[in-house]
Amino acid sequence: MAFFGLFGKAKTIEDYVNKLPSGGMTVRALRTLDFIAPGEWENINNFDTLIKKVTRESDPVFVADVKKQALKLWSDKKEGYQKALDIYQRVDASDKILGLAALADKAGDKINLLSFLDKITPEADTSQSIDFAVKVLSELLAFIKVNGLPGDGVVDFVKALNEYGKDSQMRMAALIAFDGLIPLGPDFLNKASDSVKKLGPSSLEQNSLFSRVKGFIPEGQGGAGMIQKAFGPVASWMENFAASKNLTRESTLHGLSQFIDGTDSKLDYLGAFIDVTTKYFEHTGTQSVASRLIERAGNEA
Amino acid sequence: MISTCALALLISMAGLLSGCKEPTPRDQQVEGKAFNPFFPASQDGYSVIFTSEKKGYSQANIKKGDVEVATMAVSDLIDDAEAVRKFEGATDSILSFPVISRGENGTAVLIANRFQIVLRSTSEEFSAEDRRKWISSLDLASIAALK
């Protein structure tokens, strides 16, 4: 239903890309992670511009051909691009987001975290750890929808993480920084691994994020089993990725302190604040789905 | 029966169910996996990494060291007569298969009037000549024999 507007007209990937914000909390938070690959992530929110960027072409006839093919692939539900975007949107779906994000946006150039403390409820470490693991699962599910399931899905997923475009790398960096390092600390991967090992069907079912994405798990694959299979290899990749990009709690806090005051304490509140005021999964997910769709269209047009 | 199908069609139009459909040309597309054995292996400092595999489509990245220099894709155009028509009047060929340019950075070849192979440079380093060379290194005859 998310893909239908007020009068039932299906929204296209072009609509979703063109509606991405140029500023606001999500973009400001993502920009603080620019240091992982300076200048490489561009916040492109125009579909035609994205076509030119991805294909490295400017010939209007070719660009039009690519666009036509991209929209054709998008409209075919069997291709999975719509489902992938749905997954990214569901990860960030929350009743709390809009109100607080609007308040944060009105706070001026610099936001004082302390003035929001009474509006935020940090999650317990266990619950935060499960959320982190379910976000990894969601990324895997979206990957399968966009790229198919070649060979062993999990192994290829981990290999493909190294081939990820800049928008996807930015999402992974944000996941590590905002959902791992800040709320859980430098040993976030160990904490998440411990939670994953103990994960049973009942603890998963109680997780609201899991309930939103479980419908996308392929038949015959239990949610807990799929997370347990995927988490180890993904955690190793994340550890190497964070180390190679100097992605630490300190570097993340340094970035966020450029626009949020009070980041030196109450880190659990800071994590919760970013969680409820940003939609970084949906934002970069839209850019990723569109980029992969355009890449394929460029190969088929 | 007719009314059941009509009802299913209505529901299908609402995006809730798909059924009561004739097989489409798209259903006849080969699985992307079928193309993979005919991609060239990693060679001469270049590595070939599969990145996408869907019905009628397979894609790999070509990397030199850690840097992606090109993408290589095979697609089944059995449902896309318009895409096949663009090869009409091609003046270039590889092993008698028609070859055309796609933009500044792409080279496409049509195999057996059905399978399209496209090499796209993603780095200045990878020239049009490189694209031709890599297209020739796919097993074109085996791709032509796919059903």
B6 assigned to some structural domain? no
Task: Give domain status of residue B4, yes or no.
Answer: no
Find, in chain B, the residue whose alpha carbon is nearest to that of A77.
B15
- B49, B54, B71 ranked by CB distance to A148: nearest: B54
Structurally, how many domains does chain B consist of? 1
Q: What is the pLDDT of residue B15?
A: 38
In a domain, B7, yes or no: no
Chain B residues within an 8 Å CB radius of A164: none
Residue B34 has pLDDT above 50, yes or no: yes
Q: What is the dihedral of CA A11, A15, A21, A25, to 10 degrees?
A: 30
ipTM of the assembly?
0.85
CB contact, 8 Å: B65 with chain A?
no
Domain annotation covers residue B8: no
| Distance separating alpha carbons of residues A51 and A296, to the nearest angstrom | 11
Percent of chain B's residues with pLDDT above 70: 83
- Under 8 Å between Cβ of B33 and B87: no
Sites in chain A below the pLDDT cut of 50? 1
pLDDT band at B7 (very low <50, low <70, confident <90, very high): very low
Domain extents in chain A: 23-43+87-288
The CATH number covering residue B130 comes to: 3.40.1000
Token look-up 């190497």 returns: A240
pLDDT digits (tens, 9 = 90+) for A229-243: 888 889 999 999 999
How much is the pLDDT for A7?
A: 59
Q: Which has the closest alpha carbon to B50: A78, A218, A157?
A: A157
Asked if B59's CB is within 8 angstroms of A300's CB, the reply is no
When pLDDT is averaged across residues B103-127 and rounded to a whole number, the result is 97
Query: Does any domain span residue B3?
Result: no
Instruction: Show Cβ contacts of residue A132 under 8 Å, excluding neighbours closer than 6 positions.
Output: A175, A179, A180, A184, A188, A192
pLDDT band (50, 70, 90) for residue B19: very low
Q: What are the φ and ψ backbone dihedral angles of A89, each rounded to 5 degrees? A: -70, -40
Question: Which chain B residues contact residue A292 at CB under 8 A?
Answer: 52
- Does B18 fall in a domain? no
For residues B97-104, give the mean pLDDT.
96
d(CA A141, CA A129): 19
Please report whether residue B9 resides in a domain. no
| Cβ within 8 Å, pair A298-B106 | yes
Is residue B12 predicted with pLDDT exceeding 60?
no
The pLDDT of residue A301: 87
Domain with B125, as residue range(s), is 25-144
pLDDT of B9: 38
- Residue A35 near chain B (CB below 8 Å): no
Residue B99: phi, psi to the nearest 5? -125, 135
Asked if A217 and A223 count as a contact pair (C-beta separation under 8 A), the reply is: yes
Q: Classify residue B51: in a domain, yes or no.
A: yes
The whole-number pLDDT of residue A282 equals 96
Q: Extract the tokens encoding A265.
A: 């304490």
